[in-house]
Every structure is written in C-alpha cells, then in structure tokens.
Amino acid sequence: MGNRLSKIVTRTGDGGTTGLGDGSRVGKDSLRIDCIGEIDELNSALGVLLAEHLPENLRVDLTRIQNELFDLGGEICIPGSAIIGEAHVAGLEELAGRLNDGLDPLRNFILPGGTRAAALTHLARAVCRRAERRVVHLANSEPVSEFARKYLNRLSDLLFILARALNRTEGLSDVLWAQPGKR
C-alpha cells in the first residue's frame, strides 16, 4: 500500500466531489461512487453478520469475501482496472455448492427469516443484489470487468444458500411463503 491515510478529515470533498484511485475527481453523486457505496454497504452488512455466533469455517469464508469486496470496491474506484477474476467467482461457486449439499430442494418460495444470523444473511443478499444492479447500470455506460458483475451475482446466490444453511444448522426449516388465501 503506497500512501497511508494519516489525516482523515481533509475537507477536499466539501464541494461535493471525491477522488478516485486514479487521481481524478468526480461528483459524490456519480454512478461510480454510488457503486462503491453499495459495495461498502454490502461489506458492512457482512460485518454485522460476522458479529453473530457463526461456525469458524463460515467466519473464515465470510472474512475472505469481505476482503474480496474491498478489492472489488478498489477495482471500481480505479476506472479500467481489474482485480476480481475468474478464480474469485469460482471460489464463490465452490462454497455455494458445499453449503447447498444437504439442503432440501426448494419447492416453494421462502421468506427472509428464521434465525437472526439467517435473517441478517438475507438482508446482506438484498444489499448484494442492489449493488449488482448498480454495477450493471455503471457497466452500461463505462467499462466494468465482467467478473465484477459475475462476482456479485454469485455472491447473492451464495448468501441465499447460506441463509438456508444457517437455519438448517440451528434445526429450523425455511420460512415458506404462503400463497394468498392460504395464509
């Protein structure tokens, strides 16, 4: 890491702009900054989930994902850069496959809920999907790595599976959606 931040209050953003990793300045309301903020919110949601009691192997996996999300935010912060790659996406797919083993096949839609940890995972999934939509929107107007989009897509799938797995670990069933008239 080149420059260390020793002064956090700089006042350079008081006029409504912020610096990107390449040194350029953009409006704080720019789509690129919005994407970075969504990824940061997702990372924070995972931090809240990590404050829960979780199996150590999941804690390690989620901490790795937090680091990768920080890398993804850095990638978005430097237009034209690519940090997240195929191996990162494959890692999410492998973990999703492991967690999905042993889960009952879905025969119904499920509602976010169950244990507190599962509910927080569903919340992180919803934030992830919003971040993905914003990155796709950015990619419609500026170059964005295909793996950035794929990573967020796989992560939202993984978080859905993780929520189900966390409920199963605690002996709870999925919270099933009930059709109108059957509630």
- Length reported for the chain: 183
Q: Is residue 40 part of a domain?
A: yes
Please write the tens of the pLDDT for every residue from 27-47. 777 899 999 999 999 999 999
Q: Is residue 70 part of a domain?
A: yes
Please write the tens of the pLDDT for every residue from 85-105. 999 999 999 999 999 998 999
**DSSP track, 4-39:** --------TTTTSEEE-TTS-EEETTSHHHHHHHHH
pLDDT at 1: 47
pLDDT at 182: 83
What total of structural domains would you count in the chain?
A: 1
Report strand pairing: 175-176 vs 110-111: antiparallel
d(CA 29, CA 143) in angstroms, rounded, equals 18
Please write the tens of the pLDDT for every residue from 124-159. 999 999 999 999 999 999 999 999 999 999 999 999
**CATH number of 153's domain:** 1.20.1200.10
Residue 26 scores a pLDDT above 80:
no
- The dihedral over CA atoms of 138, 139, 142, 146, expressed in degrees to the nearest 10, equals 140
Domain extent at residue 148 = 24-174
Q: Is residue 3 part of a domain?
A: no
Cβ(45)–Cβ(124) below 8 Å: yes
Mean pLDDT calculated for residue range 46-68:
97
pLDDT at 25: 87
Q: Kind and range of the H or E element at 71? A: helix 56-77
Q: Is residue 75 part of a domain?
A: yes
Q: How far is CA 173 from the centre of its chain?
A: 24
Cβ(62)–Cβ(45) below 8 Å: no
Q: Is residue 179 part of a domain?
A: no
